[in-house]
Structure 1
Amino acid sequence: MHARRARTTVTAALAVLTTLTLTTGGACATENDTGSGTPPTGGAPTASEEAAPPAALTQPAGIEELSAGWSMPWGADWLPDGSALYTERDTHRIVHLTPDGTRTVLGTVPDVVHGGEGGLLGLAISPGFAEDRTLYVFHTAANDNRIARLTWDGDTLGGYEPILTGIAKAAIHNGGRLAFGPDGHLYATTGDAADPPLAQDRDALEGKILRITTAGEPAPGNPFGTPVYSLGHRNPQGLAWDDEGRLWSSELGQDTWDELNLIEPGNNYGWPQCEGVCGEPGFTDPKETWSTATASPSGLAYADGSLYMAALRGQRLWHIPLEGADTGTPQAYYQGEIGRQRTVLATPDGTALWVSTSNGAGSDTVHRVTLQ
């Protein structure tokens, strides 16, 4: 999801469609909004969402429905021709979507077992797709979560082959996002599988961001010589790289704080010892936090100086301007207009976003958001 993007022409700042004061509260940030226990030590938000939008940065300027009738679209990535492939979590289907809204089901992925938050989740298209016709998926199987590769020759979806297995599965906290980084390696988010101590176990695959080769091996330069790239995550679901190659990740908190993290190799992001800002040696604090009621984040995309974060329970699109390795004031758009937002992609030319919802079988949509 790091597709190469052209810089867009920036116009005068746009009035905020929705401005919100950060709220605290005891609602859980699992995607089904059900309680999961008492929160650990937490911290205050790193910024208010109340200021005027920043000038001279691309912002959302309008939203329109591109395609309707979906069933829980989850992962997505761009093909070289500017169309996209999507997964559907519960149907196990891979679906092709063109910029004019034409939708074609390519087929189903074998060995997928849906249950709770599990199923067919992330999708990443090989950087060399034009030659190798390969795509990668993250899915729940009978006994684990796994990463597998397939081929699509334009007609047939086949060649299914698991490349990394044994990631613990659960009804909740499966992670599941896949994306190729600028370095050509495959990154994956994994949740703690409802077993929080796993996030602090450096040898476990759960509660982590993983970095692997296309063969499923630990990528060269990984901090521990394993697939683990960073640890201490509860349920990260968004991955995006900015123009300087910095990796950002959005993460579902428990009862109080959701997070946006700047990911560094080998760093520990605190879960379950901390939710939100920790302020303790050995743990890396988030760059931004939100109450679970206003976020419960999923997908993340970067375009022209800003991150865009899809919110499930918050039912809004967060625009987060970047100032180098720091963040400006987040702004919320389209609150309650299209329901729960799952995945956001920045178009390859950087002029728009494709935002998919997560509202239920047959009732989901993909929207195009024009950037100005």
Structure 2
Amino acid sequence: MKHRRIRQVGVLLVALLAASGLQQATAAAAATTAYEAENATIVQGTVANNHTGFTGTGFVDYTNVTGSYVEFHVSVAAAGSSSLTFRYANGTTVNRPMDIAVNGTVVAAGTAFPATTNWDTWATKAVNAQLTAGSNTIRATATTANGGPNLDDLTVSGATDSQPPTTPGTTSCSDLGENQLTLHWGASTDNIGVAAYDIYDHGNKLDEAAGTVTSKVLTGLAPNTTYTLAVTARDAAGNASPATSPLTCTTLPSSDSTPPTAPSGLGQSAVTATSVNLSWTGSTDNRAVTSYDVRSGTTVYKSVTGTPPATSTTVTGLACNSPYTLNVVAHDAAGNTSAQSNTVSFTTNACSSDGGVPSSITTISTGWAIPWGTYWMPDGQTALVTERDSFKVFKVTPSGAKTQVGTVPNAVTTNGEGGLLGVAIDPNWATNHYIYLMHTASEGNRIVRMTYNGTSLTGYTILLQGIKKNQYHNGGRLVFGPDGYLYASTGEAETPDLAQDKNSLNGKILRLTTAGQPAPGNPFGNYVYSYGHRNPQGLAFDRSGRLWEAEFGNSKFDELNLIKPGGNYGWPTCEGTCSVSGMTNPKATWPTGQASPSGIAIVRNVVYMAALKGERLWRIPINGDSENVGTPSAYYVGTYGRLRTVTKVPGADQLWLSTTNCDNNGNQPDGSDVIFRISIT
């Protein structure tokens, strides 16, 4: 038995005529919406792709038994008659009838699904049914021992809901405790009805509440910890409202002030170029030890959890041929930290000669406030750098001298991760003087084009809008591919269902022409190149012309992905590696505390990934020209704070690396951010 989560795929996409300023409609309108069978709930059937002509990533092969079924979850804006059209194949000579039920009531008993010549020939069967406003279930159940046909998708013609709820009202906290608090908000409204409220802390979903309530007790929190909370409203169709303004709430200090005893007897073994085995004698506590941190000074290299946590571990991701001095501390549930253990010192083994390693780092430019995007001019003489919250664009020379060349109009912030984001330079800039920018605007995120003559920006032109925005999860990277087309990463705007909707611009890698049209050859005939992304950030092409991408996870795993056209990268069904058919697994993953990746760059067949929360630069070698990567290793751990963007320097084995310690998580004053140059030898 297999159960799949439904992800709505809208077939009718309102045209995004960016140049004329038209925006996507938000009112309910008559539309045709397709739901892929492989994403529905499947009982006694499997997802297959061993025949041709199907849509999406596959089809459902019913088990040959009476009662096998596929159940779709459908949302419509208004009650009324709808046409339900099933696309199927039946390569046998016998009819495979099914009962069609809506919300538990059979509306078309024994509906015939006759032969279609062969399994590669697809036909449709339509029935009419009354649907209720909001969420509906539609089940197609086999009525004979032959099971059902191969089922590709269900198309529903009726009134669909694309209007999001309003922003919830003012938030507040009460009943603050050591491990919990109560969050309150004002009710949202919706044309159909609010189905749920989602609660986020710095863009990571903490909890959710029913659409009928306006408060939630948040439990499992850490004592004496500040949370930055926001609430979004969600309707039955999956439309999400904008987030409320951030609210900071701090839990109370714990009544337990007794720290665990210090770990002891720390020892090392099996040192390699990138790892070491450690073991120690465990701590004791008046209540219970909940975790151990392996540290260098106070910088955490690995956390060990469990009930109780283990007293040995392998620390990976170390830089080769580098000295380390490590210690271990224990924590309890109250947040008390023990004194540190004894230390161990060692030097990792020599580096492999393949690909090179960072050998020096130099500060070349200071005085920045959240430098977000960096892109080198084709001649390699200067780079353009954007500042997220000031909306300014600067040119920077190899020596680090910077000059403001303009401010991007119509840009706004989201009090989170929105603002002026990525920048890319037309490969033919010498003849057309075009640059491309992604920024947040009043209605959503936009990709725009401007003219840059070497000293100033003019000619603001919208190429693509209608990319939904929210406080977090806005994506924002731009890069030109070897094919001359522009690639853009977009977040799912805190609306996870959008990531699986192949006609949505959110939760995607987009591929477009320099005129703002879908690039020829895109897998779904629109802007979408790949889908199933939560908040994709870094984009870079390797020496074989393949696209790599770094992506923020929610609370478990961050990802490095190899992007292929039409690929489904799993969100929200998968976070990190999973075994769901039709979804593409990442090539490497990290706990979110060690990464939270942003920009990536590739030098000598090695991916370099800048980490924000992890405060380190990850080095991930590609194994030759295969689709696999070697062991990741980390540099500058905890040394320079939050690392945002890493960019290859043209014509040199060098990187530029920028910090964003002035953002909401870094809390440093404006002007504290810097740009470094790193040499690879």
- The CA deviation string for residues 292-347 of structure 1, in whole angstroms up to 9 with x for no partner, is 00000000001111010000000100011001221000010011111101110111
The code of the aligned residue for 1:293 comes to G
In the alignment, does 2:336 pair up with 1:36? no
Cα shift at 1:49: 3.0
Distance 1:192 1:350 in 2: 36
| 1:6 corresponds to | none
| 1:76 corresponds to | 374
**SS of equivalent residue, structure 2 residue 571:** coil
Distance 2:617 2:405 in 1: 29
In the alignment, does 2:484 pair up with 1:175? no
In the alignment, does 2:628 pair up with 1:330? no
In the alignment, does 2:543 pair up with 1:243? yes
Distance 2:456 2:646 in 1: 27
| 2:427 corresponds to | 127
In the alignment, does 2:317 pair up with 1:49? yes
Counterparts of 1:252-263 in structure 2 under 5 Å? 252-263=552-563
- Give the counterpart of 1:151 among 451, 468, 478: 451
| 1:7 corresponds to | none
Distance 1:136 1:128 in 2: 12
The code of the aligned residue for 2:428 comes to G
TM-score by length of 1: 0.87
In the alignment, does 2:498 pair up with 1:230? no
Change (3 A) 1:36 1:108: same
Cα shift at 1:362: 1.3
Distance 1:297 1:82 in 2: 28
Change (3 A) 1:135 1:69: same
Cα shift at 1:56: 2.3
The code of the aligned residue for 2:206 comes to G
Counterparts of 1:266-281 in structure 2 under 5 Å? 266-281=566-581
Conserved 8 A contact 2:478-2:489:
yes
Counterparts of 1:158-197 in structure 2 under 5 Å? 158-197=458-497
- Give the counterpart of 1:342 among 639, 644, 663: 644
| 2:69 corresponds to | none
The code of the aligned residue for 2:632 comes to P
Conserved 8 A contact 1:125-1:136:
yes
Change (3 A) 1:32 1:354: farther
| 1:90 corresponds to | 389
**SS of equivalent residue, structure 2 residue 393:** strand
| 2:358 corresponds to | 60
| 2:565 corresponds to | 265
Change (3 A) 1:266 1:149: same
Distance 1:124 1:253 in 2: 25
Query: What is the number of equivalent residue pairs in this alignment?
Result: 335
Cα shift at 1:130: 1.1
Cα shift at 1:106: 0.7
Cα shift at 1:50: 5.7
**SS of equivalent residue, structure 1 residue 293:** helix
Distance 2:204 2:502 in 1: 27
- Give the counterpart of 2:609 among 309, 315, 339: 309
Conserved 8 A contact 1:190-1:209:
yes
Conserved 8 A contact 1:38-1:255:
no
Larger Rg: 2
| 1:8 corresponds to | none
Bigger proportion of residues as strand:
2
- The CA deviation string for residues 24-68 of structure 1, in whole angstroms up to 9 with x for no partner, is xxxxxxx985542369xxxxxxx9536955432211001110100
- Give the counterpart of 1:351 among 642, 653, 664: 653
**SS of equivalent residue, structure 1 residue 36:** strand
Conserved 8 A contact 2:359-2:679:
yes
List alignment gaps of at least 5 residues for structure 2: 1-199, 209-314, 321-350, 663-669
The code of the aligned residue for 1:37 comes to L
Identical amino acids, percent of aligned pairs: 52
| 1:19 corresponds to | none
Distance 1:304 1:197 in 2: 37
Distance 2:201 2:389 in 1: 14
Cα shift at 1:156: 2.4
The code of the aligned residue for 2:366 comes to A
Change (3 A) 1:239 1:304: same
**SS of equivalent residue, structure 2 residue 462:** strand
| 2:676 corresponds to | 367
Superposed CA RMSD: 1.7
- The CA deviation string for residues 162-220 of structure 1, in whole angstroms up to 9 with x for no partner, is 10010000000000000000100000000000000000011100000000000111101
**SS of equivalent residue, structure 2 residue 537:** strand
The code of the aligned residue for 2:465 comes to T
The code of the aligned residue for 1:240 comes to A
Cα shift at 1:359: 0.7
Conserved 8 A contact 2:499-2:572:
yes
Conserved 8 A contact 1:200-1:231:
yes
List alignment gaps of at least 5 residues for structure 1: 1-30, 40-46
**SS of equivalent residue, structure 2 residue 615:** coil
Distance 2:555 2:470 in 1: 19
The code of the aligned residue for 1:87 comes to T
Change (3 A) 1:369 1:51: closer
**SS of equivalent residue, structure 1 residue 279:** coil
Conserved 8 A contact 1:58-1:305:
no
- Give the counterpart of 2:412 among 113, 121, 128: 113
**SS of equivalent residue, structure 1 residue 298:** strand
Cα shift at 1:266: 0.3
TM-score by length of 2: 0.48
In the alignment, does 2:591 pair up with 1:291? yes
In the alignment, does 2:521 pair up with 1:212? no
In the alignment, does 2:501 pair up with 1:201? yes
Conserved 8 A contact 1:119-1:139:
yes
| 1:9 corresponds to | none
